[in-house]
């Protein structure tokens, strides 16, 4: 069985969930926040060490201003309301992505939650906020190029390990499993480097309805896969 260290989720379908009920889109995001809470609890119960949630992509700034405002209000509400419980349950929270486009209130709420939970070890909950994988990769390349120009790194030294160390995921293993909800089958600029060998699971469930059984389905699907990382499965290996 493949032991699982890291599950990453592209939460999709909040808008459709609301539309199907004749509700405004923000109601879907509100229900999506409840699904976040359920999924974090379910991940804890399954001893998953790292859970990454794609909460706001760099492209999501293109949404109407009032929807963006509501989303950030929900993030702040989540951080404020869940902080005690995160600490009590040993959940470390961290966010990755840009922060220079956030209000000081949002940055403050994130920093408070990160500081208060930094010693927690049961589950590491990572929120992708203003995150885009191409931007992250370009920034890492720029940092390495600057180091090379200043003589601190030579181009010959640059390898996958050094490059990985420049990314926001440097302190967590690559995701074993990437789940996307709402039936869409693409990565949408999420963890493009880190998901190179991840198993992909596409769930038809809209994110606000996502729960314990959907997570279990994804894990069962994952455990049924044979991960080869480009090699041969163990049983098929022949002595040289």
Report if residue 131 touches ligand FPP, rule: CB under 6 A: no
Among the residue ranges 31-39, 83-91, 108-116, 218-226, the one whose residues contact ligand FPP (CB under 6 A): 31-39
Binding characters for ligand FPP, 154-183, by CB under 6 A (x = yes): ----------------------------x-
Report if residue 60 touches ligand FPP, rule: CB under 6 A: yes
Q: Where are the alpha helices (DSSP H) in the chain?
A: 14-20, 25-45, 65-88, 104-117, 133-149, 160-164, 212-223
Report if residue 36 touches ligand FPP, rule: CB under 6 A: yes
Output phi, psi for 213, to 5 deg: -70, -30
Report if residue 15 touches ligand FPP, rule: CB under 6 A: yes
Per rule CB under 6 A, count of chain residues that contact ligand FPP: 20
Report if residue 97 touches ligand FPP, rule: CB under 6 A: no
Q: Of the candidates 127, 104, 103, which has an alpha carbon nearest to the alpha carbon of residue 117?
A: 127
Report if residue 70 touches ligand FPP, rule: CB under 6 A: no
Report if residue 55 touches ligand FPP, rule: CB under 6 A: yes
Report if residue 74 touches ligand FPP, rule: CB under 6 A: yes
Q: Shortest gap between Cβ of 60 and ligand FPP (angstroms)?
A: 5
Nearer to ligand FPP, 19 or 220 (CB): 19
Output phi, psi for 92, to 5 deg: -85, 130
Sign of the dihedral through C-alpha 144, 146, 148, 151: negative
Element (H, E) at 94: strand 91-96
**Active centre residues (catalytic):** 12, 60
Among 4, 6, 8, 12, binds ligand FPP (CB under 6 A): 12
Report if residue 43 touches ligand FPP, rule: CB under 6 A: no
d(CA 128, CA 180): 14
Q: Count of CB atoms within 10 A of residue 126's CB?
A: 24
Residue whose structure tokens are 């976040």: 36
Q: Count of CB atoms within 10 A of residue 157's CB?
A: 11
Report if residue 127 touches ligand FPP, rule: CB under 6 A: yes
Residue showing the smallest CB distance to ligand FPP in the complex: 15
Tokens of 213: 């059984």
Report if residue 4 touches ligand FPP, rule: CB under 6 A: no
CA 1, chain centre distance (Å): 23
In whole angstroms, how far apart are CA 102 and each of 70, 106, 183?
A: 13, 6, 30
Q: Which residues of the shown chain bind ligand FPP in the complex (CB under 6 A)?
A: 11-16, 29, 32-33, 36, 53, 55, 60, 71, 74-75, 78, 127, 182, 207
């Amino acid at each position: 069985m493949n032991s699982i260290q890291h599950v990453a989720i592209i939460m999709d379908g909040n808008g459709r969930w609301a539309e199907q009920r004749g509700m405004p889109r923000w109601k879907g995001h509100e229900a999506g926040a409840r699904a976040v809470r359920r999924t974090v609890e379910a991940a804890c119960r399954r001893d998953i060490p790292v859970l990454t949630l794609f909460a706001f992509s760099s492209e999501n700034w293109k949404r109407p201003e009032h929807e963006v405002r509501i989303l950030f209000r929900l993030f702040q509400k989540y951080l404020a309301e869940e902080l005690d419980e995160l600490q009590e349950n040993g959940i470390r929270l961290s966010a990755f992505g840009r922060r220079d486009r956030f209000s000081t209130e949002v940055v403050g709420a994130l920093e408070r939650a990160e500081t208060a939970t930094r010693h927690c070890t049961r589950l590491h909950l990572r929120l992708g906020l203003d995150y885009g994988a191409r931007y992250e990769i370009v920034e890492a390349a720029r940092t390495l190029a600057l180091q090379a120009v200043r003589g601190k790194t030579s181009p010959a030294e640059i390898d996958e390990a050094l490059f990985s160390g420049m990314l926001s995921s440097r302190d967590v293993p690559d995701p074993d499993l990437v789940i996307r909800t709402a039936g869409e089958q693409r990565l949408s600029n999420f963890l493009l480097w880190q998901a190179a060998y991840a198993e992909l699971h596409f769930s038809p469930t809209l994110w606000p309805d996502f729960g314990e059984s959907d997570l279990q389905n994804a894990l069962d699907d994952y455990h049924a896969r044979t991960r080869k990382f480009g090699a041969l499965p163990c049983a098929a290996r022949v002595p040289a």
